[in-house]
Every structure is written in structure tokens, then in C-alpha cells.
Amino acid sequence: MTELVTYTSADHVATITINRAANMNALNEAVIVGLQAAWRRLQSSDDRVAVLTAAGDRAFSVGADVKDSPKEMWQGVPSIGAQTSKPVIAAVKGWCIGGSYVLVQMCDLVVAAENTRFKYPEAQLGFTGGLIASAVARIPHKIAMEFMLLGEDFDAHRALAAGMVNKVVPTGEEEAHAHAWAKVLAESAPLVVQGLKELSLATLPKSPAEAAAIARDQLLGIKHSADGAEGRKAFGEKRTPKFRGE
């Protein structure tokens, strides 16, 4: 995991933090790789829930770093770049733009500070990764289309009314509220919490971009597996490979 994404744990609650405050937490390759590693660590750990936060006061994140764009933005998105059956709560404040909203969209619960501003300007900029299209399965269709296509700001209260967030709290209190919910989940029955999340994800429709990203993650896992390396090595050495399912 990179220093641009930190993972701390206490009482079965993981806190995953994006640490690029000087760059308004813009998502570069190191951040995306760090987030993917964090989701994998969460899934394999004893932690039962995660709170996703970001450093600084101005922004949760301004989206992809245009000077250092990540190779595969989807890899940092929970339940897409790395599968996790454990709930993730986003604590959001300030600007949340473009791809960073996709991170929030794929979290299970969202606490927004009053100064939060959501924005998806990709239609006006001329590019998109497509994962935003899953918004139509999570909020009303017309509102999703307005948000995706017009590039206009949604403040915290508009986002609350649209169902994009669960609650709005005074700025500076968003992490405390997220951790209060995390404590409830950490003390709840893990099998029930995880089971309900898994069933919910299976119930939600997936956009083509989301389904493709999940499939690509699975295929990359096979490609970079120990068995994959063994197969290539055995082929070069003209011998029978010894696969271990790893």
C-alpha cells in the first residue's frame, strides 16, 4: 500500500484515507493502486467495516489527476476493483468531482458535510470511464441523467434529497458520524451484515462498464497468478506445468 492511501484499524473498524490534500486528493495511479490494496486488505482482515475518508478541508477528491491519470480508475473502486463483502461508509466533505463520486457511489453508506459539492463534468470535458452509469440503479433515473449529463453542482442537501447520501452533518463532523455508524456495524452480527451486502449487490443491476470492470479484474487476477506464471514458464521449458490453484 502506498503512503498516499493509509489504512488504520481499531475495534474491527478500518479507516482508509486518501492523503493528497495538497493536490485536493486528486486520484493518480498511486492512489488508485493504494485504494485497491486497501479493499483487499479489508476483505482479508478481521475488520468488519471500513470508513473511507480524505485528508484536508477543501475536497474529498477532485477526481482523476489530469497530470498523472491512473491507468485503470476502476481498480480503486470498492466492489469493482476489489470485491469486499464488508460495508464501506464514505465520509465526504468539500468537492467530490468526477471519478471520486464513483468511489462514493459504490460505498454502502454516505455521510456528507454541509460544504459538500458533488459534480460530474465529464460530458463537458469529453471523456468518461462509464462507471457513473450505474447511478441509474442507485438514484432516480431522471436525477441520475441530470447529474451525469449537465455537469452542474449538487450541494449536500440536493444530494440528500436525491438519495445520493444518507445524512448531512455540520462540516467537520462527517468522520465522527461515519465512525458512529461503523461502531454499530462492527458490533452487529458479521454474517448478517456481510450476507445482506452480498445479496444487495447481487440484486442491483450493473451497467456494462461496471460488469466489464469486474470481469477484467477477475481475468487480471488469473493472468498475474502464480499458476499463470508457472504455465508460461513451463511452456518455455517444454515441460508439464505444476498448478497449485494460486
Domains of the chain, residue spans:
5-205
Q: Nearest CA to 75 among 31, 108, 41?
A: 31
Q: Which three cell numbers stand for residue 59?
A: 475536497
pLDDT for the residue numbered 239? 86
Assign domain 5-205 one CATH number from 3.40.190.10, 3.90.226.10, 3.30.2350.10, 3.40.50.720.
3.90.226.10
- Give exposure, 67-106, as e/b (b: 16+ Cβ within 10 Å): eeebebbbbbbbbbbbebbbbbbbbbbbbbbbbbbbbbbb
Question: 133 with 209: CB under 8 angstroms?
Answer: yes
Segments of the chain with pLDDT less than 50: 1
Q: Are 13 and 53 in contact (CB under 8 A)?
A: no
Give me the pLDDT at residue 2, please: 55
pTM of the predicted protein model? 0.89
**Quick one: CA torsion of 127, 75, 243, 245, rounded to 10 degrees?**
-130
Pairing mode, strands 117-119 and 95-97: parallel
Q: What is the spatial distance between Cα 25 and Cα 58, in angstroms, rounded to a whole number?
A: 9
Residue with cell 447481487: 202
Question: Which residues make beta-bridge pairs with 2?
Answer: none
Is residue 3 exposed (0-12), middle (13-18) or buried (19+ Cβ within 10 Å)? exposed
The per-residue pLDDT for 217 is 67
* Residue 214: per-residue pLDDT: 77
pLDDT at residue number 216: 76
* Res 1: pLDDT: 45
Which ranges constitute the DSSP H helices of 1-155? 29-44, 99-105, 122-125, 141-150
Q: What pLDDT, on a 0 to 100 scale, did the predictor assign at position 128?
A: 87
Write the burial class of residue 158 (CB in 10 Å: 0-12 exposed, 13-18 middle, 19+ buried). middle
* 175 touches 91 (CB < 8 A): yes
Nearest to 183, CA basis, from 21, 10, 3, 58: 10
pLDDT at 15: 98
